[in-house]
Chains A and B, each alone.
Chain A
Amino acid sequence: MSAIPVPRLALPRAGIFRRFASQEALLALAVIGLAIAVGFVNPRFLAYRNLADILLGNAYIAIAAIGMSMVIISGNIDISVGALIGVLATVSGSLAVAGAPTLVAWIVPVVLGVLVMAAQGAVVAYLRIPAIVVTLGMMSILKGGLISVTGGKWITDLPQGFHLADLNLLGVPMPVAIMVVATALAALWMRYSASGRAIYATGGNAEAARLCGVNPQRTVVMVFALHGFFAGIATLVYATQLRVIQSTTPPGLELTVITAAVVGGVSILGGVGTVVGATLAAILIAEITSALVFVNISPYWTDSLRGGLILATVIADIVRRRRRASRGRRI
């Protein structure tokens, strides 16, 4: 057989923009666009200090959203994360006040987070109880348990060294540094590791998962454990930022985290989405909250506006995805 002449096609290269030409690009664009738009109304918004504060004050949400996006990609959901962070913060603070070495006070919540979440994952995977039920129940348990044990007493007089969030890493405030590093590591891991792939496969469909040689049960437990890990890290940022720890569960945190993951392009349909999107979405939501103050919107309307923006993003994403899907189909 003779070699067949192959027509050369002009094909796009993998530029940095190409690579993110998706929900992440849209979100990044929205983050920047919103900043500029608000900057027109009130230039103070663009001050380094303000932008840094937005990141600093909301880094814990972004970090928690990383794990949440993994959970959602795997086809599950977690409602207990807010309560868990409240519990872990209390544990961490109590240890610090009781005189435990700072490192212990930092590590224990992370370990505990992994254990609690892995246990939930095991119930979901092996006992086959839907995640929404397990985590709903666990939310109740953690929330009630926390108040029963602490009586809601605030933790004060935290030792100075405990405040991880006050430190800097190479000049970058620790919460932001942790957020960036955690996002980057998680993103790389999701992309490049076999177990990262397994998450997509499990959430996508069982058939593809088996074809990839994936054990769905083990993957679900792993995903929940990782989610617990990130919840633990988020706790460190959350708990060490202020001088007091509230000993109650942060109201509505789970919903904020889920929203960030969902707006970040993580489809509940499974199989799509990245943690970068979740982090960007968490930043965007925080930015919107701050921006609404800056442009003097009547605070009564901020919530509906925020809800509307989230809805618009979600619908735009779904429409975009569907178009891409229909374009990809062969005629």
Chain B
Amino acid sequence: MSAAATVPLLEVKGLEKSFPGVRALSGVSFDVRPGEVHALLGENGAGKSTLIKIVSGVYQPDAGEILIDGRAMRFAAPEDARRAGVATIYQELLLFPELTVAENIFLGHAPRASGGRIDWRAMTAKAEALLASLDIDDLAADQVVGSLSVGHRQRVEILRALSHDARILIMDEPTAALTEADVTRLFAIVRRLKERGVGIVYISHRLDELFQIADRVTVLRDGAWVGARDMADTNAAELVQMMVGRRIDNLFPKIAAPIGAPVLQARGLVRNPTTRDVSLEVRAGEIVGLAGLVGSGRSELAQVLFGITPAERGEIRLDGQAVRIDSPERARAGGIAYVPEDRGAQGLVRAMSVLHNFSLAALGGLSRLGFIDRAAERRMAEAGVLRFGVKTSSVDELAGRLSGGNQQKIVLGKWLANNPKLLILDEPTRGIDVGAKAEIHRLMCELAGEGVAILMISSELPEVLGMSDRVLVMREGRLVAEFDRAHATSQAVGAAMMGGDDPMERAA
């Protein structure tokens, strides 16, 4: 199928979108043809969500255009997109649990009888017809949605989209919460939709799925278009490379540091359902990279180590001493620092000043009898601003007004004030500009040189490979592989991330 053969159902050209402090999309283009599944690929923060929200009318682009059947459209609101035939199925399903399947499908556009009453019989009949059209025989129109499994609910969402005569269906990680059997059934439905000429935009992190279901793939990284491929002409290795970038050599100036005694030793950590029997060790001066796909349990492991979701079983030793870490306070007392993944929600108090954010995790050390030594606090924050190169008008500026990179430096800085022995960094450079990225990497090396043990979680494979002394790979809540620096190649680590029936091997 060549691009010229058919007019794409949906085409976007040169989309640009910025949020305060973040450039979410720059010059992204892609298109979907009738009867095609076009996958969107990219790590978290690559801009996929922003892209689909623009296409479904939630956001308005700063620049660029959206064409439906070759005609330029403006979606001022989600209804406009829906009227144009674009339906979106979000990860969080927007269903009403008290209502039946039929009621959910036809919510807001129920068939009317004379006098404006809802024609219940016609509604049930239409719902049953829709169910039949997709060969769904284990779902009845009069079932209450609250009693259904996630897979069934998703089918109801799809039916709702179809009831609006959607011709373009956007599915955001539809398999993220599905069981194996449900995935199979979803694919059956997707194929049936393809036969009908529906165009599908399919977002997923699971490369193996894409090889099963997608026709083409567009890869985004850091809000920019990286490339598009026909699935038949590509392989997993290439896609991973496109996703995580190639700039390994010059960006990651790993400086070797002397590696000392083990700082953290964990044995058999269990926290159901996300952490299953994990044992690991991080030594002083060592940077350990923790790789894995989204949902593999990396951040969850970090939160177990930090005491936010304490381990149900297992043992943690710090400097050889067995400790019980059942709260972040205990973790901090033990010398652990954690720079979380979600800067806005977990790391930073946006409504507080830079000064107060800097001191938040170090208040104990800055105060006597509970009274904060405000001069010392200010000295600490100002020193931090200088040391980390935070660009701000003053330490009294609200932290939420700074750019992402500067915010990240503050979150990092507030923990370093405690002089931690173990620093856990969760996606330390996500969504920040290249300059800030390099500064954070330089800082990591500096800290390692000072003897801090660092556990770094990253979705960016080159970062993991470039910065780590050792690389651990997680999948489905377990550590599945370990590589030392010499043996950690993108192929090997990528393969371990993908897991058993290695699509990379198969594709190669």
A binding-site residues for B, Cβ under 8 Å: 1, 3-4, 6-9, 11-14, 18-19, 22, 191-194, 197, 200, 208, 210-213, 274, 330-331
- Contact between A211 and B177, CB atoms less than 8 A apart: no
Partner of B147, one of A4, A7, A12, A197: A12
B78 and A213: CB pair below 8 A?
Answer: yes
From B103, B137, B144, contact of A18 by CB (8 A): B144
Contacts of B148 in A (CB 8 A): 11
Q: Across the interface, which residues of B come within 8 angstroms of A12, CB to CB?
A: 143-144, 147
Interface contact B107-A192, CB-CB below 8 Å = yes
Asked if B58 CB lies within 8 Å of chain A CBs, one says yes
Q: Does B63 contact A (CB under 8 A)?
A: no
| Interface residue? B388 (CB, 8 A) | no
From B90, B99, B138, give the contact of A11 (CB < 8 A). Answer: B138
Query: How many Å from the CB of A10 to the closest CB on chain B?
Result: 9
Q: In this assembly, does B321 line the interface, its C-beta being within 8 Å of a C-beta of chain A?
A: no
User: How many angstroms between the C-alpha atoms of A7 and B88 in the bound complex?
Assistant: 27
Given contacts A12-B143, A192-B107, contact A210 B184 (CB under 8 A): no
Residue in B94, B110, B118, B188 whose CB lies within 8 Å of A208: B94
Name the CB-closest residue of B to A20.
Answer: B98
Contact pick for B90, options A4, A9, A22, A211, CB 8 Å: A211
What 13 additional pairs, Cβ within 8 angstroms, besides A11-B147, A12-B144, A194-B107? A6-B135, A7-B138, A7-B181, A8-B138, A13-B142, A13-B143, A14-B144, A18-B147, A191-B98, A208-B94, A213-B57, A213-B78, A330-B179
Q: Which B98-132 residues have C-beta < 8 A from chain A?
A: 98-100, 103, 107-108, 110, 118
The interface bits of chain B over 28-63 (1 if a CB of A lies within 8 angstroms of the residue's CB, else 0) are 000000000000000000000000000011100000
Complex CA gap A155/B110 in Å reads 48
The answer to whether A197 touches B92 (Cβ under 8 A) is: no
- From A9, A200, A208, A331, B92 is in contact (CB under 8 Å) with A208
Q: What is the CB-to-nearest-CB distance from A295 to chain B, in angstroms, rounded to a whole number?
A: 35
A192 to chain B minimum Cβ distance, whole angstroms, is: 7
CB proximity to A under 8 Å, residues B73-111:
77-79, 82, 88, 90, 92, 94, 96, 98-100, 103, 107-108, 110
Query: Taking CB as reference atom, which chain A residue is nearest B142?
Result: A14
Report 27 cross-chain contacts, Cβ distance below 8 Å, ordered by A residue: A3-B188, A4-B184, A4-B185, A4-B187, A4-B188, A6-B137, A6-B185, A9-B138, A11-B138, A11-B152, A13-B143, A14-B100, A14-B144, A14-B147, A19-B98, A191-B98, A193-B108, A210-B78, A211-B58, A211-B88, A211-B90, A211-B94, A212-B78, A213-B57, A213-B77, A213-B79, A331-B272
**Interchain nearest-CB distance for A255 vs B (Å):** 28
Q: Tell me, in angstroms, the Cα distance from A264 to B139 when the chains sit together.
A: 31
Give bound CA distance, A19 to B78, whole Å: 30
Chain A residue with Cβ nearest B135: A3
In angstroms, Cα B110 to Cα A153, docked, is 52
> When A and B form their complex, what is the total count of cross-chain residue pairs whose Cβ atoms lie within 8 Å?
79
Docked-complex contact A192 and B58, CB < 8 angstroms: no
Give chain B residues whose Cβ lies under 8 Å from the Cβ of A13.
140, 142-143
A14 CA / B177 CA spacing, docked (Å): 25
Tell me the nearest residue of chain B to A10, going by C-beta. B138
Give B191's nearest chain A residue, CB to CB.
A1
CB closest chain-A residue, reference B108: A194
| Chain A hits for B179, CB < 8 A | 330
Q: In B135-189, which residues have CB < 8 Å from any A CB?
A: 135, 137-140, 142-144, 147-148, 150, 152, 177, 179, 181, 184-185, 187-188
B273 at the interface (CB under 8 A from A): yes
Alpha-carbon distance A76/B140, docked complex (angstroms): 37
Other-chain residue from A6, A274, A330 in contact with B150 (beta carbon distance below 8 A) = A330
Give the residue of B92, B143, B177 whose beta carbon is less than 8 angstroms from that of A330. Answer: B177
Establish whether residues A14 and B181, one from each chain, have CB atoms under 8 Å apart when the complex forms: no
**Across the interface, which residues of A come within 8 angstroms of B139, CB to CB?**
11
Q: Which residues of chain A have C-beta atoms less than 8 A from B181's C-beta?
A: 7
A197 with B185: in contact, given A12-B143, A211-B94 (CB under 8 Å)? no
Contact-size category for B: 35 or more
Instruction: Say how far B186's CB is from chain A's closest CB, in angstroms.
Output: 10
B58:A210 contact, CB within 8 angstroms: yes
- Report yes or no: A192 in contact with B118, Cβ–Cβ below 8 A: yes
A197, B107: Cβ atoms under 8 Å?
Answer: yes
Whose C-beta in chain B lies nearest to the C-beta of A1? B191
A4 to B98, CA, bound (A): 31
Tell me which residues from 459 to 503 in chain B have a Cβ below 8 Å from any Cβ of chain A. none
Are the CB atoms of B188 and A211 closer together than 8 Å? Answer: no
Q: Are A8 and B137 in contact (CB under 8 A)?
A: yes
Q: How far is the CA of A259 from the CA of B148 in the complex (A)?
A: 32
Nearest 6 pairs between A and B by C-beta? Answer: A213-B78, A331-B273, A194-B108, A14-B144, A213-B79, A14-B142
CA distance A213 to B83 in the complex (A): 12
Report how far A70 CA is from B147 CA in the complex, Å. Answer: 25
Smallest distance from the beta carbon of A130 to chain B beta carbons, Å? 16
Residues in chain B near residue A208, CB distance under 8 A:
92, 94
A194 to B108, CA, bound (A): 5
Complex: A11 Cα to B79 Cα, angstroms: 33
B295 to chain A minimum Cβ distance, whole angstroms, is 11
Q: Are B138 and A6 in contact (CB under 8 A)?
A: yes
Whether the Cβ atoms of A197 and B96 lie closer than 8 Å is yes
| Interface-central residue, A14, A18, A197, by most chain B CB under 10 Å | A14
A330→B88 CA distance, assembly (Å):
22
B108 and A197 contact, CB distance less than 8 A? yes
The complex places the Cα of A211 from the Cα of B52 at a distance, in Å, of 11
Residues of B within 8 A of A4 (CB): 184-185, 187-188
Chain B residues with Cβ below 8 Å from A331 are 272-273
> Smallest CB–CB gap between A70 and chain B, Å?
15
Q: Are B135 and A11 in contact (CB under 8 A)?
A: no
B184: chain A residues at CB < 8 Å are 4
Inter-subunit contact B188/A274 (CB<8 Å) = no
Least Cβ–Cβ distance between B58 and chain A, in angstroms: 6
The answer to whether A22 and B185 touch across the interface, beta carbons within 8 angstroms, is no
Task: Please indicate the chain A residues that have their CB under 8 angstroms from the CB of B272 in the complex.
Answer: 331
A200 CA to B96 CA, complexed, in Å: 10
Q: Are B96 and A191 in contact (CB under 8 A)?
A: yes
Q: Report Cα–Cα, A1/B189, bound state, in Å.
A: 12
Assembled-state Cα–Cα distance A114/B434 (Å): 56
**Distance of A27 Cα from B349 Cα, bound (Å):** 41
B177 CB contacts on chain A under 8 angstroms: 330
Q: Which residues of B contact A192 (CB under 8 A)?
A: 103, 107, 110, 118
Residue on B nearest A8 in the bound complex, by CB: B138
Residues of A near B90 (CB, < 8 A) are 211
The smallest C-beta distance from B154 to any residue of chain A, in angstroms, reads: 12
- Give the CA-CA distance A170 to B142 in the complex, in Å: 32
Query: In the complex, what's the smallest C-beta–C-beta distance from B73 to chain A, in angstroms?
Result: 16
Q: Is the CB of A191 within 8 A of B147?
A: no
Please, which residue of chain B has its CB at the minimum distance from the CB of A214? B78
Provide the bound-state CA to CA distance between A213 and B88, in Å: 13
* Residues of chain B within 8 A of A19, CB atoms compared: 98, 144
How many angstroms between the C-alpha atoms of A211 and B75 in the bound complex? Answer: 13
In angstroms, how far is the closest chain B Cβ from the Cβ of A114?
Answer: 22
Q: Which of B98, B110, B143 has a CB less than 8 Å from the CB of A274?
A: B98
A194 CA to B57 CA, complexed, in Å? 18
